[in-house]
A and B are shown apart, each in its own frame.
Chain A
Amino acid sequence: MESQEADKNPVVQRLRQWDAEVVSEVIEFRGETTVVVPREQLQRVAAHLASEPFLYFAFLSDITTVDRFPIEPRFEVNYHLLSIARGDRLRLKVRLPGNDPTLPSVTSVWPTANWHERENYDLFGIRFEGHPDLRRILMPDDWEGYPLRKDYPVEGPR
């Protein structure tokens, strides 16, 4: 849902001014702003958000995925950004189809993304292109399947 409130958000305005193409949707819920970004634009947007002085989201707090199975696009990857200098938070969201869950790695922008991306790869099977060392992190190396996907049962045989 696109609300007028979200349009007034200075971060969203700045992003739109910079490049209107990168904001495909803005969601405002309980005072949190989510900007939906096309996956081709993710790396550009990330670099811009992290370095542009007015935005300055230098701290990547978290990367997490939501599996909307069986709805397509199936995966939503959320990036929780924090600007310590400005005291502001922002969520970037990238939607990915179930048959091709790949997106560019942001480790070059935020080095902390390394383990977060490995975790999302491990538990959801999201492949981050350009990641320096994309291996399982929590599950054993020879584990089959991705446990946090919705078509993976909580208990019983797979």
Chain B
Amino acid sequence: MTTTVETPTGAAQTMVLNMGPQHPSTHGVLRVILELNGEIVVKAEPIIGYLHTGIEKSCEAKTYSQVITLTDRIDYLAPLSNNLGYCLAVEKLLGLEAPKRAQYIRVLLTELTRIASHLVWVGTHAIDLGAMTVFLYTFREREEIMKIFEYVSGQRMMTSYFRVGGLALEPPPGFLDNVRRVIDALPGHIDEYEDLLTNNRIWLGRTKGVGIISGDDAIAMGCSGPMLRGSGVAYDVRKAFPYSSYEDFRFEVQTQTAGDCFARYQVRVAEIRESIKIVRQAMEKVAKMDGPIKTEAPGIIPPSREEMKTSIEGLIYHFKIYTEGFAPPPGEVYQVIESPRGELGFFVASDGSAKPYRVKVRAPSFVNLQSLPKLAVGRLIADVVACIGTTDIVLGEVDR
């Protein structure tokens, strides 16, 4: 299809090109309708919804605890972040807090999730731009982190390890040693990726000055996470609205001012290094601590196995919680956490019954993707790949 448009240099013929939904660089099923003038993008329009599974609707038909398994499937590269966001929202609704030890283990695991997610991003983005090697390395390291998740929760990806009021299980023995082994090896590996990419002329050519968005535009478009911090806005939910005891940890919010694809790459690599620091601190805190992994709230949090077997109240609560669930007071809460992709919000409304009345996921990918036309218009068609890549979308989260 061709149309004629007026440009500063006269009338030009444009061509409409359909990128996706099966294009490899779209990381799933994203379709972008591009209007091209030669190789220059005149208009870009993302079309989404191909992975819409109605998760929010399904949540309304499940009890509060059952919803946790659905949250794994929203952002499948960071399941533990989703678990955390949802559990914190329900805990807020109930007016509960997880015990300190559980909070630190949550921090430890969500930071590992962040590292794993950013590793996938570095690898896949490099492959999009033609650097195959990095992908093989980052997936090797990511697999080690996946093994930790499997060791802790029994699942590599669909972990469902965080529960309302704490954790599902006591971490198995040797958990911290496993984490330490992975974390100690990581900084050297990140140096390797940086050797391959950061000063690589092709990499710089493909990312520097490409897909620029200013800080003000990023705020207006609702961008969050590395998208926003790459444009010079030092907003990180972990610092601005600390949750799960993030105020007990020392870390820096990583920012870059250029606002281009390279800045977003730098922010993410720096965030991996910051996350390693946080994991180290969390390991120290958890090793020194002893205590429960679940808070005590009869009728809401399942009793311990011993209590269930020995006391009649324990047995009754166990039965009631697993058959009819628990009912938070009526009200609405909006809990925000910093997921690897940005501000992940859970809006949970309760009507006083055992099933959530409404669960809304404020997916950072969904909002970040909206600014794709801002990044891509006026650039070459090849740059669209870099722009989609550094937006770091997960289509499962965009479409829900």
Interface residues in chain A, defined as those with a beta carbon under 8 Å from any beta carbon in chain B? 29-30, 32, 34, 58-62, 64, 66-67, 78, 80, 84, 87, 89, 91, 110-112, 114-116, 119, 123, 136-140, 147-148, 154
Contacts and interface: CB of A to CB of B under 8 A. Distances in A.
Contact of B60 (A89, A139, A154): A154
A110 B222 contact: yes
Given A61-B345, A137-B48, A115 B334 contact: no
Contact of A154 (B57, B220, B235, B345): B57
| Residue of A64, A67, A91 with highest tally of chain B CB at under 10 A | A64
Interface in B224-268: 233, 235, 240-241
B49 interface: yes
A112 B332 contact: no
Contact of A91 (B48, B219, B220, B334): B334
Interface residues of B, number: 38
A37 B57 CA distance: 27
A84 B219 contact: yes
Given A112-B220, A137-B48, A64 B347 contact: yes
Contacts, number: 90
Contacts of B399: 138
A34 B332 contact: yes
B347 A62 contact: yes
Contacts of A87: 240-241
Interface of B: 48-49, 52, 54, 56-58, 60-61, 92-93, 95, 219-222, 233, 235, 240-241, 331-334, 336, 343, 345, 347, 349, 357-358, 360, 362, 366-367, 370, 399-400
A62 B362 contact: yes
A30 to B, nearest CB: 5
Contacts of B93: 30
Contact of A66 (B58, B358, B362): B358
B331 A112 contact: no
Nearest to B56: A148
A89 B334 contact: yes
Contact of B52 (A60, A67, A139): A139
Contact of B221 (A112, A136, A137, A147): A112
A79 B53 CA distance: 24
B336 A61 contact: yes
Contacts of B60: 154
18 contacts: A29-B333, A30-B95, A60-B222, A61-B222, A61-B345, A62-B362, A66-B349, A78-B332, A80-B334, A84-B233, A112-B367, A115-B370, A123-B56, A137-B49, A138-B399, A138-B400, A139-B52, A154-B58
Nearest to B369: A115
A50 B365 CA distance: 23
B79 to A, nearest CB: 21
A59 B54 contact: no
| A-B residue pairs, 5 tightest by C-beta | A112-B222, A64-B360, A62-B362, A138-B49, A138-B52
A44 to B, nearest CB: 19
Contacts of A137: 48-49
A84 B240 contact: yes
A64 to B, nearest CB: 4
B239 to A, nearest CB: 9
